[in-house]
C-alpha cells in the first residue's frame, strides 16, 4: 500500500494537527487526536477504536511502531516530543513529555513513564508500573539503570527519531524483523491485502476480517470471526499458515511459514508485534505482545506466552502455564482470573472483526 490510511471507527474520524507526515503503509484509526508536527514511519499504526489515543506535538513513531488501547478500559496517552523506535509497542499506558522508547520496547496497560524517561532497546514495562522520569530503564521487566542528563537524552532521542545509532536505544539489525513489506510482496501477486504466491491463494472465511494494509500471501487460511490486523503479515510460503476461528493476529505481527507449517488454533489471542515461525499454537492460547515463537516450537492448548518472551526451537510450552523470558521458561500456572480476562479479550476481538468487516 503506497498511501497512509486515515480511517474512521464507528463514525469517529481521527483529528490530526498541522504538519503531519505519514509514510506509506502507516495507519491512524478512530478516536485518535494528534498534535502538530507528528511523524509516522512505514507501517506505524495508531489504533484508537475501543478507546482514545492522544498524541502531543513533535512526536515521532518509527517503522512498525504500534499504539493501541484496552477496549473500553484504558486509552493511550503520548505527550509532547516523544519518540518511539522501530517495532515498539505502546499499549493503554501514559508516556510523558520528552520520553524515548527504544527499538523493540513494550509498555503495557496502566503503566506511566515519567518526563524524560528512556526505555532501552527491548525493554518491557509490565502492567501498572510507575517509572520515574529522568532515568534509563532496561531489561524485562524494565529496571532503572542510571539517571541521564538532558544532553544524553537528546542524543538518544535523535538516534531513535532520525534512524541513527545509540548503544542503549537502537537494536542490532539482526534483532529486528523486516521493517517494510517488500520481502513479503510476491511480484505480480496482486494489489493486496491478499496475494498469490507460488500459484497459491489465501483462503479467508467470509466472516473473517483482514485489514487493508495487511499482507496475506500464498497458502494461508483464516477461520470464521478471526482477524488479521493493520500492518500484519501472513507469509504463506512452504507448507503454509492455518489460523482457526475466533483468533486475532494483532497489528504489526509477522507470521512466516518459509521453514515449515505454521498452525494457530481457535480462540487464540496473538498480541501486537508478535513473530511466529513454523510453529504450532494450540487452542485458547495467549501469545503475548512483542513475543517470538520460533520454528519447531509448540504452544499447547490453554498455554500463555508472556510479553517479549522468546520461545526457542523445540520448546514445548505446557498447557495451563505461563512461560516467560528469553529463552522462555515455565513461570507459573495461569490463574482463573487471567483466563476470564483472556476470554473477554477474545470476545472483544470477535466484535472488532464484525464491526470492521461491516464498515469495509
pLDDT at 353 over 60: yes
Q: Are 82 and 101 in contact (CB under 8 A)?
A: yes
Nearest Cα neighbor of 227 from 281, 288, 270 is: 270
From CA 138, how far away is CA 119, in angstroms rounded? 6
From CA 127, how far away is CA 137, in angstroms rounded? 15
Sequence-ordered alpha helix ranges (H) in 135-245: 150-162
Report the pLDDT averaged over residues 233-253: 97
Domain at 5-174, CATH homologous superfamily: Hexapeptide repeat proteins (2.160.10.10)
Question: pTM above the 0.95 mark?
Answer: yes
Q: Are 8 and 27 in contact (CB under 8 A)?
A: no
Evaluate the CA torsion angle 138, 26, 1, 161 in order and state its sign: negative
Q: What is the DSSP string of 108-129?
A: -TT-EE-TT-EEPTT-EE-TT-
Nearest Cα neighbor of 300 from 282, 313, 286 is: 282
Other C-beta atoms lying within 10 Å of the C-beta of residue 355:
14
- Report the percent of the chain where pLDDT is more than 70: 99
CA distances from 11 to 174, 253, 351 (A): 41, 27, 16
pLDDT at 341 over 90: no
From CA 240, how far away is CA 234, in angstroms rounded? 9
Report the pLDDT averaged over residues 250-259: 98
Round the average pLDDT of the chain to a whole number and report it.
96
CATH 2.160.10.10 positions along the chain are 5-174, 182-359
From CA 95, how far away is CA 78, in angstroms rounded? 5
User: What would the pLDDT profile of 272-308 be if each residue is shown by its tens digit?
Assistant: 999 999 999 999 999 999 999 999 999 999 999 999 9
Question: What pLDDT, on the 0 to 100 scale, is given for residue 2?
Answer: 64
- Report the percent of the chain where pLDDT is more than 90: 94
Nearest Cα neighbor of 215 from 227, 231, 204, 196 is: 231
From CA 75, how far away is CA 201, in angstroms rounded? 37
Could you tell me the pLDDT band of residue 224, with boundaries at 50, 70 and 90?
A: very high
Question: What pLDDT, on the 0 to 100 scale, is given for residue 338?
Answer: 87
Task: Give first-to-last CA distance, the chain, whole Å.
Answer: 16
Report the pLDDT averaged over residues 109-113: 98
Indicate the class that CATH gives domain 182-359: mainly beta
User: What would the pLDDT profile of 47-67 be if each residue is shown by its tens digit?
Assistant: 999 999 999 999 999 999 999
Amino acid at each position: 500500500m503506497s498511501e497512509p490510511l486515515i480511517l474512521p471507527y464507528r463514525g469517529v474520524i481521527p483529528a490530526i494537527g498541522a504538519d503531519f507526515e505519514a509514510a506509506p503503509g502507516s495507519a491512524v484509526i478512530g478516536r485518535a487526536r494528534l498534535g502538530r508536527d507528528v511523524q509516522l514511519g512505514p507501517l506505524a499504526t495508531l489504533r484508537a477504536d475501543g478507546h482514545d489515543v492522544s498524541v502531543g506535538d513533535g512526536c515521532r513513531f518509527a517503522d512498525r511502531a504500534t499504539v493501541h488501547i484496552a477496549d473500553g478500559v484504558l486509552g493511550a496517552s503520548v505527550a509532547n516530543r516523544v519518540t518511539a523506535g522501530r517495532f515498539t509497542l505502546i499499549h493503554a499506558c501514559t508516556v510523558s513529555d520528552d520520553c524515548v522508547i527504544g527499538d523493540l520496547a513494550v509498555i503495557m496497560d496502566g503503566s506511566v513513564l515519567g518526563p524524560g524517561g528512556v526505555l532501552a532497546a527491548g525493554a518491557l514495562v509490565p502492567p501498572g508500573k510507575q517509572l520515574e522520569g529522568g532515568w534509563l530503564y532496561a531489561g524485562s521487566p524494565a529496571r532503572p539503570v542510571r539517571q541521564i542528563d538532558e544532553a544524553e537524552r537528546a542524543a538518544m532521542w535523535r538516534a531513535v527519531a532520525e534512524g541513527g545509532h545509540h548503544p542503549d536505544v537502537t537494536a542490532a539489525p539482526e534483532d529486528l524483523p523486516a521493517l517494510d513489506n517488500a520481502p513479503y510482496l510476491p511480484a505480480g501477486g496482486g494489489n493486496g491485502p491478499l496475494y498469490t504466491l507460488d500459484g497459491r491463494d489465501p483462503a479467508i472465511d467470509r466472516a473473517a476480517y483482514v485489514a487493508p494494509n495487511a499482507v496475506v500471501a500464498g497458502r494461508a487460511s483464516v477461520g470464521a470471526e478471526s482477524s488479521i490486523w493493520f500492518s500484519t503479515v501472513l507469509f504463506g510460503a512452504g507448507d503454509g499458515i492455518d489460523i482457526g476461528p475466533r483468533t486475532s493476529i494483532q497489528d504489526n505481527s509477522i507470521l512466516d511459514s518459509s521453514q515449515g507449517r505454521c498452525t494457530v488454533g481457535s480462540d487464540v489471542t496473538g498480541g501486537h508485534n508478535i513473530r511466529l515461525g513454523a510453529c504450532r499454537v494450540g487452542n485458547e492460547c495467549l501469545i503475548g505482545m512483542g513475543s517470538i515463537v520460533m520454528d519447531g516450537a509448540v504452544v499447547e492448548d490453554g498455554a500463555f506466552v508472556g510479553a517479549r518472551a522468546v520461545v526457542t526451537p523445540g520448546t514445548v510450552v505446557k498447557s495451563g502455564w505461563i512461560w516467560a523470558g528469553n529463552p522462555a521458561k515455565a513461570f507459573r500456572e495461569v490463574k482463573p482470573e487471567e483466563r476470564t480476562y483472556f476470554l473477554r479479550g477474545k470476545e472483544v476481538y470477535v466484535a472488532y472483526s464484525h464491526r470492521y468487516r461491516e464498515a469495509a
